[in-house]
Amino acid sequence: MAPTRGKIRALNIRVALMSLLVLSGYGGACALLGIAFGLLGEQPDPEALARAADRAGAAEMIGELPDGWDTILASGYPGGRELSGGQWHKLALARGLMRRDPLLTVLDEPTASLDAAAESALFARYALAADQGSMDGSITVLVSYRFSTVRNADLVIVIEGGRVAEVGSHDELLALDGLYAHLHALQAAHYT
């Protein structure tokens, strides 16, 4: 399925048909292509792929696939395997981590399909990477509705009705006793 007119580009690089098929779910791809797509035209470096898979918590899962990195990720193909939502999520995270030393990393609900243990391990890795990156001026923006996720952020920005409602650290916003504190209390009530 190709575009009927125009061209699809990512960072001004034309997206190949294979990538379009993989992204749209109409074709199968192997684990390597699933992660290497994050390179946008560069040759995949096996060490960089392994590093990204490890940072995203996908390395063990890839190692358990019948053909490892070469396993076709679509059950409709011979030898192909289907992944769970959490496994697909880890591959997508690894794809986003392929860039070395990005200036800006945006994570929108990066743990939505992960279990609590995988979420905790992922955030431990992200916190370490963010601390190392902050030394060279890089920024990580994390979009989340989970207070367990945002409580360790350096700065929390609360958006209400498309506008900034509150800004501060987790502790500062709780002390402010505004919208953040109210939503935190609502969410915490489900765990007590």
Residue 33 to residue 39: CA distance in whole angstroms? 10
Contacts of 52 (CB under 8 A, 6+ apart): 35, 38, 94, 95, 97, 98
Residues 97, 126: contact at Cβ < 8 Å? no
pLDDT digits (tens, 9 = 90+) for 31-86: 776 777 656 556 777 888 898 898 888 999 999 998 888 888 888 888 888 888 88
pLDDT at position 161 over 50 = yes
* Averaged pLDDT, 132-145: 73
pLDDT at 135 exceeding the cut of 80:
no
pLDDT reported for residue 20: 40
| Paired residues of 108 in beta bridges | 143
Quote the mean pLDDT of the chain: 77
Is the model's pLDDT at 21 over the cut of 60?
no
Cβ-based neighbours of 37, under 8 Å, separated by 6 or more: 19, 22, 23, 95
Alpha-carbon distance of 133 to 152, in angstroms, equals 16
Mean pLDDT of 141-145: 81
Q: Are strands 9-10 and 13-14 parallel, antiparallel or unpaired?
A: antiparallel
Tokens of 122: 């992922």
What pLDDT does residue 134 have? 59
Q: Is the pLDDT of residue 127 over 50?
A: yes
Please give the share of the chain, as a percent, with pLDDT higher than 90. Answer: 19
**What per-residue confidence (pLDDT) applies to 177?**
97
* Residue 171 scores a pLDDT above 60: yes
* Per-residue confidence (pLDDT) for residue 87, from 0 to 100: 87
Residue 15 has pLDDT above 90, yes or no: no
| Domain covering 9-101 assigned CATH 3.40.50.300 in the classification | yes
Strand-pair partners of 166? 158
Q: What pLDDT is stored for residue 71 in this prediction?
A: 87
The span from the CA of 34 to the CA of 26, in Å, is: 14
Residue 92, C-beta contacts closer than 8 angstroms, at least 6 positions apart? none
Q: What's the confidence (pLDDT) of residue 9?
A: 53
Model pLDDT, residue 183 = 92
Domain ranges for the chain, please list them: 9-101
Q: What would the two tokens of residue 141 be?
A: 């923006």
